Amino acid sequence: MTRTDEADLVVLDPLSSDVWRATLNSPEDRNALSGDMRRAILQALRDAHEAGAKVVIVRGDERAFSSGYRLDPGVMRPSTTVEDRARLVEVTDFLRAYREHPIVTIAEIRGYCLAGGTDLMLASDVAVAASDASLGVPNVRGLGITLFFPVWSWLLGPQRAKLLALTGDTITGAEAAQWGLVATSFPVDDVEERTRAIAERIALMPRELLGVVKEALNVVWDSAGLGTAVLRAAELDALSHATRPVEEFWAHVAEGGMRKALAARDAAFHGGRILDLL
């Protein structure tokens, strides 16, 4: 049996009675987290939970887990900073609902996991990456920050987090596992099978206890101020959108299109990564 949501943006498959898989299905924008996609993800979790699933594997395709939030100028450029903040707070509501859902989520990362895609990854209970996956926040070079940005310092430590955040450079899935940004990594040919094995192992737990254990581990971050940190990130992101570099980026988009603007933004960073200097 294969089930899809109304817009076919998420394909939901039962792998067993306890483990389901939700595949993001928007290849034209590399599974960008549009408003429709965010709603489809939450609906997939609700559908799987109602069907009795304990664990949902969330994945993209071979090219990308998710390229980030959809770069639609009509959505990304509200007329006022107040409207921009309200838009971003709606995204934090999605991340909170996703993270707090009683079902266990495992992010299976292949290909690119960039910008807002890392938010979805970090809001998942467990993240597993292909060793050659590419993770990072290149959006800091001209678009703003991500909403789970504060979590990078908690997971990597402030020094390593800043090495990546202050350059927008990417790291591989293997490096992300070594640094603690994801739980583990596997060769790309093995990641699907190994992720499913992890999910099946977790699903051996009673359903009621999985929710309790998940909440017990999440409460530490909640007590440390995760909600406040994410809301503060939304406000800082809205502020960044009013800066000259971001205004200039969108002017370049209007002049030459998104692809050309992104290439110009990243041109100075070609030829290596900051990790290659360490």
128-183 confidence digits (pLDDT tens): 999 999 999 999 999 999 999 999 999 999 999 999 999 999 999 999 999 999 99
User: Cβ neighbours of residue 94 under 8 Å, at least 6 residues apart?
Assistant: 38, 41, 42
Q: What is the pTM of this model?
A: 0.95
CATH number for the domain that contains residue 103: 3.90.226.10
User: Which range marks the domain in which residue 143 is found?
Assistant: 3-277
55-59 and 19-24 beta bridge pairing: parallel
Cβ-Cβ contacts under 8 Å for 97 (sequence gap 6 or more): 42
Answer yes or no: are the C-beta atoms of 109 and 121 closer than 8 Å: yes
**Residue predicted with more confidence, 62 or 71:** 62
- The order of strands in the sheet holding 19-24 is 3-4, 10-14, 19-24, 55-59, 104-109, 126-130, 184-186
pLDDT score at 7: 58
Helix (H, G, I), strand (E, B) or coil at 182: coil
At residue 2, the pLDDT reads: 42
Q: Would you give the distance in Å from CA 54 to the centre of its chain?
A: 21
228-241 pLDDT per residue, tens? 999 999 999 999 99
For residue 72, the model assigns a pLDDT of 80
Sign of the alpha-carbon torsion through 70, 160, 151, 240 = negative
**DSSP-based three-state secondary structure for 68:** coil
> How high is the pLDDT of residue 130?
98
Domain count, the chain: 1
Q: Tokens 């940004």 identify what position?
A: 181
pLDDT at 8 over 70: yes
